[in-house]
Structure 1
Amino acid sequence: MAHAVPTPGTTTGARTGTGPSRPGRRTTPDVLGPRTHLLVKWGLPVVTALVYGYWVASVRRHGGPITGWNLLTGFMSALVFVILYFALRAVTRRLPPEIHAALWGAFAGCALGFIYSGSGVAMFTSILASLLLAGAVTAGLVYHYYTRRDPGRARPSGTT
């Protein structure tokens, strides 16, 4: 069965309702509204940071009572996490895919390494676990970016 491929500058039809397509972008139906996208764009990182802060505080507590220092550690960890997340999200948009993936991998690896080092394990184990996660996130993102990039930009013109 043949399907029509939208060309740049033409509408994609009533099915998507997105209007003219942009070159190099897939036009898929958008089931969520702009308000929901904005809420997810800002709310999800904040909620993730709060969960991360709670996790740090829980690991640092070692099953003991909740103290003021423990709460301060959790909230400061959440604050640093969300600040680094938003800074990284703003910076990586302008970078090539390889560096973009490496920075997000380093962020994930450092976040895990910080939590894991607070549990009292050997430093080598913490470093190894964070390097494994950083490598896995980087490899996954490189794969994601290269399997979904614009075919027109895949190779410079004139190469085989």
Structure 2
Amino acid sequence: MLMGVVYGLWAWAIRRDGGPITTGNVLFGVVSALVFAALMISVHRVAPTLPRELRALSWAAFAGVTFGFLYSLAGASVLRCTAMALGVAAGVFAVTFYRYYTTE
């Protein structure tokens, strides 16, 4: 999945932090991409069977966790990462709930 590749490259670039390309950094990017893609595919398959509230919540949780992980790689504090992830999750929940509510 293309989004998994983009996520893996982004995670790899943040962890590399302008230093040399190492096997550990590349492996970290590949594993991040695989985990992201597997989670996204599973949410994409399970979400349509859920009611609209839980469907929106599942996408919001996915977006919040994945954003929070990338944000934590930059070296921010746990509290700031949590606050930013909750903000992203709240925004994704609002948008997806509105979409599901208006299209059902």
1:65 counterpart SS class: coil
CA distance in 2, matches of 1:63, 1:121: 17
Name the counterpart of 2:54: 99
Alignment size in residue pairs: 104
CA distance in 2, matches of 1:113, 1:96: 26
CA RMSD of aligned residues (A): 0.7
> Could you tell me the TM-score, scaled by structure 1's length?
0.64
- Structure 1, residues 95-146: CA drift from partner, whole Å, max 9, x if none? 0000000000000010100111011111111111110000100111111111
CA distance in 2, matches of 1:64, 1:126: 24
CA apart distance, 1:86: 0.8
Q: Are residues 1:55 and 2:10 paired?
A: yes
> Could you tell me the TM-score, scaled by structure 2's length?
0.97
Name the counterpart of 1:7: none
Amino acid at match of 1:143: Y
- What pairs with 1:6-155 in structure 2 (closer than 5 Å)? 46-149=1-104
**Structure 1 unaligned runs (5+)?**
1-45, 150-160
Which has the higher Rg, Structure 1 or Structure 2? 1
**Structure 2 unaligned runs (5+)?**
none
Which ranges of 4 or more aligned residues in structure 1 deviate by more than 6 Å?
none
Structure with greater proportional helix content: 2
User: Which of structures 1 and 2 has the larger relative contact order (alpha carbons within 8 angstroms, sep 6+)?
Assistant: 2
Amino acid at match of 1:86: I
2:21 counterpart SS class: coil
CA distance in 2, matches of 1:145, 1:83: 23
- Structure 1, residues 8-58: CA drift from partner, whole Å, max 9, x if none? xxxxxxxxxxxxxxxxxxxxxxxxxxxxxxxxxxxxxx1111010000011
CA distance in 1, matches of 2:75, 2:63: 20
